Structure 1
């Protein structure tokens, strides 16, 4: 029998390097390693072979970086206690990246960038000495409560990890990728841009699992994308990749790159080709989500609805397919269908937890979309309830906060009440959440900005921000002086300057917009006359300023500048009919419904069969409860505009009037026309 010596080292012919550790939890004098996962315990005079639970698998963090000082510290802080070594491969940083890496005792190597992510990643993992490799980018970090050791306890060759991609609007979307894998020589990266492990190599027999740890990704924030010029760079790299290797995964990634460039037709074709070649790959779920998005962006709604229904039949518990169906219905004008599907998304179905791309589809996203639908239908109370649910579920989601503020403005809720309500809602929130609230208040141009945006600790506000705050606090002269000091006006501030110029009749201020105005000298003279509030002798139709006029009109309502609003309303009468109808809908939104009806009646009396006029006028009458008149106009409308929203409105008018016979007649017509509408087929 083998016995340990006095210095607690034992001889074993199976081992060359013996690691000796005392552990009183096992009541053993000594144990030593026989390999990667087994140990020998010396207990009560006997040696016992036991699985080594204490000698956990080690983990190497492998990263490639270049000028990542912005996020690197957060990334490396997040892996403390989870990794045993940090391998950082630098491709030419000129900022503080390497200084930060050295603070964490990282093993840093230089690598000449050759426009090939796989080459750099493979160089990094070759430096690793641990059992497992965790791959992160500098703009990623582990979620608090990560359980890497629990994840790898099953001893699989690789693990798919959920990555939560944060967006600048406070929302996020998720995908899965292999980020945790064994340090095996045969595992390596392929692909110049969307590099991935060669786990699909048929010569390899690999075991896989799903990790419960979550990775947060900040690289989709708008300013980050702009910093790295990702869109242009990625397209060129992927084109070369496809030429060399037109694999299903490369086609899928090329589709994603095309989507980022808004080349939706091209993206859709790549996704279709990818699916045809590999219909059982792990990324197919996300591929279908992207296809549904492409069809929506291309306004191919019926095709998208049909595909979504097929996917739901196959996988009824995949939440994203339901949510994307609702988005297709909503944009196509099938608001009843969209509402039903969104309510289903919010139900207590046992949704698949591993297949969720739209984070929040079972919560704030669906509440927000419902609020938008209710707002379109004039159901203000329900819209407010839904958007408030969205904010409570995700208090940093910018679109929901902005809609909430706009609903408050349209309902003429006092600024004091809005502030009180917000302070109750956000009373216990952290600094990051409050910052996102302030951004939303600023971007919504709500007058309560003056309450929140003040100079603190002697730190002045940026001139652009201060100018906007002063403008919506009716400090027009102060705002003008600040704008005149700003060297370059940003596109986001054009409406601010035009509104203030119109209020002050200040053409010098208006001239600050000239570099951004793609217009002729003649048109610019016309715009100057508009700013001076002179009677116009020419139409503004198709002018540079026309797309901004309704937004300027809305800001004048918010500011209470109704005399100037009357002037701009008269000017809009010299614009296209579409712009005039937008103004009428704006008036109705802010409670000036009689004025909106009178505005459109002039057009109706002049041209009673114009579908745009019929649609706008009937919609306002329906939203104000004048169902008899709305039904009459809707009957005319369906003769000229044979579309779903017109029939839907006509049917609902008859339901409100209690005219069941006419409602059923319309329903039967709709069933013949709109087989894609589940709501219609249920009537």
Structure 2
């Protein structure tokens, strides 16, 4: 059986840290907490779980803090979590089993990161992260923001899922944006990955023109990870739509097809583009096209799961309703309702479309009867 050190960096997480630590208590063999300046009860709460609590003076560098936490690890493998991450009971059991059965020759364990859930707890947004690494190989974190590790094979793609979500939602922060802009002010180099995430921060702060320029710069480097390239096309299109440059937005979406086979997330954006133009025939084409696509099985990038099933089904229903084909609209909405039986939108649509189809059938029957009588 392998042993695991949990290494965390935290700050002012009194509302989240207990849930996180409870979910791994008794599974990990060591808990290391690096605090970057808490002023609440975070450290006190952590003290009930471990005595390995260390202070780190914040220097606007997440990688530096994570590497500092890794330096204290003593077990075979190091697992990282953020304070607002946790394991559901089924994933806790999977981690216990992994400890018992894992080949010690594995260098890196990838785990799904579920960062979006619907009201029923179904995962709507996820991607994979390098989550657990062999301590002896001394892998290091890179980048001051949106940090990552360069690891080496053998890599295990685990079915363990880390769930993310704050118990108490914080107000939007400009911390990450300030880190990037301080680097630029100090004439420090931004890697292609840094440019990509800087662009995302600009977009999230409604600085769409600047964000578009940075996304274009990132794509022009031709050095990005394929999944980041696809995401950049998607985000760039959103920026251009906000700037009322519709054709450029559509061109960005089609540009994503250069990097890989069409993704449902992109095709949904194309469908919505034509819906906004009231071109429901073309919109329906793209939403139906999604239903022919196969969700990538070996994809570590961003996946919006509803875009591969529920969304195209319910939007097909909307499009065919607008086109007056109520029978076809009802067919798609029925499928959407099977995907999400608790969807209030699909339930409302179902009643509306059933009435439309019934009314249409009655009207047709009445017309036929009139023709016969004549």
Fold in common (TM above 0.5): yes
Question: Which consecutive unaligned segments of at least 5 residues does structure 1 have?
Answer: 1-55, 200-204, 414-624, 626-683
Cα deviation for residue 98 of structure 1 reads: 3.0
Cα deviation for residue 251 of structure 1 reads: 0.3
Matches within 5 A, 1:284-295: 284-295=229-240
2:187 counterpart of 1:237: no
Matches within 5 A, 1:307-318: 307-312=252-257, 315-316=260-261, 318=263
Partners of 2:35 and 2:312 in 1: CA distance:
42
Is residue 32–residue 50 contact of structure 2 (8 Å, CA) maintained in 1? Answer: no
Picking from 342, 346, 351, the partner of 2:291 is: 346
Picking from 352, 360, 370, the partner of 2:316 is: 370
2:153 counterpart of 1:207: yes
SS of the residue 1:316 aligns to = coil
**Distance change (3 Å), C-alpha of 1:310 and 1:95:** closer
In structure 1, the residue matched to 2:307 is 361
2:82 counterpart of 1:137: yes
Cα deviation for residue 108 of structure 1 reads: 1.9
**Distance change (3 Å), C-alpha of 1:371 and 1:258:** farther
In structure 2, the residue matched to 1:636 is none
Cα deviation for residue 255 of structure 1 reads: 1.1
Picking from 218, 237, 242, the partner of 1:274 is: 218
Residues 525-576 of structure 1, C-alpha deviations (whole Å, 9 max, x = no match): xxxxxxxxxxxxxxxxxxxxxxxxxxxxxxxxxxxxxxxxxxxxxxxxxxxx
Cα deviation for residue 103 of structure 1 reads: 3.4
Residues 561-612 of structure 1, C-alpha deviations (whole Å, 9 max, x = no match): xxxxxxxxxxxxxxxxxxxxxxxxxxxxxxxxxxxxxxxxxxxxxxxxxxxx
Question: Which consecutive unaligned segments of at least 5 residues does structure 2 have?
Answer: 356-362, 364-374
2:131 counterpart of 1:179: yes
Picking from 244, 249, 253, the partner of 2:197 is: 253
Is residue 330–residue 338 contact of structure 1 (8 Å, CA) maintained in 2? Answer: yes
Residues 317-355 of structure 1, C-alpha deviations (whole Å, 9 max, x = no match): 6433333332333334332222122223234x4331233
Is residue 9–residue 69 contact of structure 2 (8 Å, CA) maintained in 1? Answer: yes
Cα deviation for residue 250 of structure 1 reads: 0.8
Cα deviation for residue 254 of structure 1 reads: 0.4
SS of the residue 1:119 aligns to = helix
Partners of 2:27 and 2:249 in 1: CA distance:
43
Is residue 72–residue 97 contact of structure 1 (8 Å, CA) maintained in 2? Answer: yes
Structure 1 vs Structure 2 CA RMSD: 3.6
**Distance change (3 Å), C-alpha of 1:297 and 1:132:** farther
Q: Which moved more, 1:286-295 or 1:209-218?
A: 286-295
Normalising by structure 1, we get a TM-score of 0.44
Cα deviation for residue 155 of structure 1 reads: 3.3
**Distance change (3 Å), C-alpha of 1:94 and 1:313:** closer
The alignment of Structure 1 onto Structure 2 pairs a total of residues equal to: 344
Picking from 161, 170, 174, the partner of 2:111 is: 161
Residues 448-469 of structure 1, C-alpha deviations (whole Å, 9 max, x = no match): xxxxxxxxxxxxxxxxxxxxxx
Picking from 250, 265, 269, the partner of 1:324 is: 269
Picking from 383, 401, 404, the partner of 2:344 is: 401
Q: Which moved more, 1:232-241 or 1:121-130?
A: 232-241
**Distance change (3 Å), C-alpha of 1:80 and 1:337:** farther
In structure 1, the residue matched to 2:372 is none
In structure 2, the residue matched to 1:192 is 144
Is residue 312–residue 321 contact of structure 1 (8 Å, CA) maintained in 2? Answer: no
Is residue 164–residue 174 contact of structure 1 (8 Å, CA) maintained in 2? Answer: yes
Is residue 255–residue 267 contact of structure 1 (8 Å, CA) maintained in 2? Answer: yes
**Distance change (3 Å), C-alpha of 1:100 and 1:240:** same
Is residue 317–residue 350 contact of structure 1 (8 Å, CA) maintained in 2? Answer: no
Cα deviation for residue 249 of structure 1 reads: 1.0
Partners of 2:43 and 2:321 in 1: CA distance:
51
Partners of 2:335 and 2:53 in 1: CA distance:
47
